Amino acid sequence: MRMRPTLSWTPSEDLPPATSDPGPVADALSTGGVLVLSGAGISTESGIPDYRGEGGSLSRHTPMTYQDFTASAGARRRYWARSHLGWRTFGRARPNTGHLAVAAFGRHGLLSGVITQNVDGLHQAAGSDDVVELHGTLARVVCLSCGAFSPRRELARRLEEANPGFEPVAAGINPDGDADLTDDQVADFRVVPCTVCGGILKPDVVFFGEPVPPQRVEHCRELVRGAASLLVLGSSLTVMSGLRFVRQAAQAGKPVLIVNRDQTRGDQHALTRVSLPLGTALGTVAHRLGVPVSRVADGGPRPA
């Protein structure tokens, strides 16, 4: 039986109040060994909306599931048409103060690692190294038949050639790169196959309803085991893929700190939740620690 993914949650108990003081985050970072777990909220200041915050995309958009994508040619046509248009927006997005602060903390030896639930590549563009992309990346495409990988920019070129003049106006863009288009707008879109075997192409991301690869989960668990504390940035922790690491850290007695303006599913496990915009909070923390947050060059590097 197919299960629909968890898209929302309702607090079942009184959660501890949030604070507007990022001091506890600065204190944790000052001792080092902090593992960052980031979510869609860290990219909103780069123009990429989140799923569940105020005005989040789930209020108007149900993400593509793995089951729907693999079962229906029509679903794949709809996805690739919308994603092809959305990819242009992702390609223009640049790291914001939050991404840059995380990269600066890493350069100063304050972090033990970075795990991101995002697929936008903005942590790497900001200069963070060895980022674990828990849900994969939109910058790469995989064939479901032969397993061949290829760069997203190559697929974008092929889709442009197959769909000349495809310039619909989207109602919005979503965190997974999926633009809001009507069925009429995507009806004539042509999907291209794998150049190696002619199979079905899929972005190398974990769709809703699709499990995170076990080896990636274990790698993240090992990072949690080796960390002194866990810092969650911009994630509601609604889905288990991220929440499991919060629970693991809390069970091991490691401090969990959350920076998110809204309540999260992990608040009950946290030492504190700072209710501030990510850029404001992390910029303040960097200033307190004397860590300079540099800007990347205009049009800075993005993943291939």
pLDDT tens sequence across 171-220: 677 767 778 888 899 999 999 999 999 999 999 999 988 999 999 999 99
Q: How far is CA 271 from the centre of its chain?
A: 23
Residue 88: pLDDT band (50, 70, 90) is confident
48 is in an annotated binding site: yes
Per the CB < 8 A criterion, the answer to whether 37 and 115 are in contact is yes
Q: What pLDDT was estimated at residue 118?
A: 94
Q: Which of 37, 20, 18 is nearest to 217 (CA)?
A: 37
d(Cα 31, Cα 190) in Å, to the nearest integer? 53
Annotated binding residue at 62? no
What percent of the chain lies above the pLDDT cut of 70?
88
Residue 52, annotated as binding a ligand: yes
- 132 assigned binding-site residue: no
Q: Is 53 annotated as a binding residue?
A: yes
Contact (Cβ atoms closer than 8 angstroms) between residue 150 and residue 204: no
Whole-angstrom distance, CA of residue 235 vs CA of residue 200: 31
Prediction pTM value? 0.88
Average pLDDT estimate for 284-301: 77
Burial code (b: 16+ CB inside 10 Å, e: under 16) for 249-284 equals: bbeeebbbbbbbbebbbbbbbbbbbbbbbbbbbbbb
Supply the pLDDT for residue 102: 98
Sign, CA dihedral 152-153-154-157, equals positive
Residue 51 counted as an annotated binding residue:
yes
Is residue 129 annotated as involved in ligand binding?
no
Average model confidence (pLDDT) across the chain = 88
Q: Does domain 18-48+95-135+211-299 fall into CATH 3.40.50.1220?
A: yes
Active site residues: 135
CATH number 3.30.1600 is the correct assignment for the domain at 60-92+138-205: yes
Please report the pLDDT score of residue 170 as a whole number. Answer: 75
Which residue, chain included where needed, has tokens 């790169």?
177
The domain ranges of the chain are 18-48+95-135+211-299, 60-92+138-205
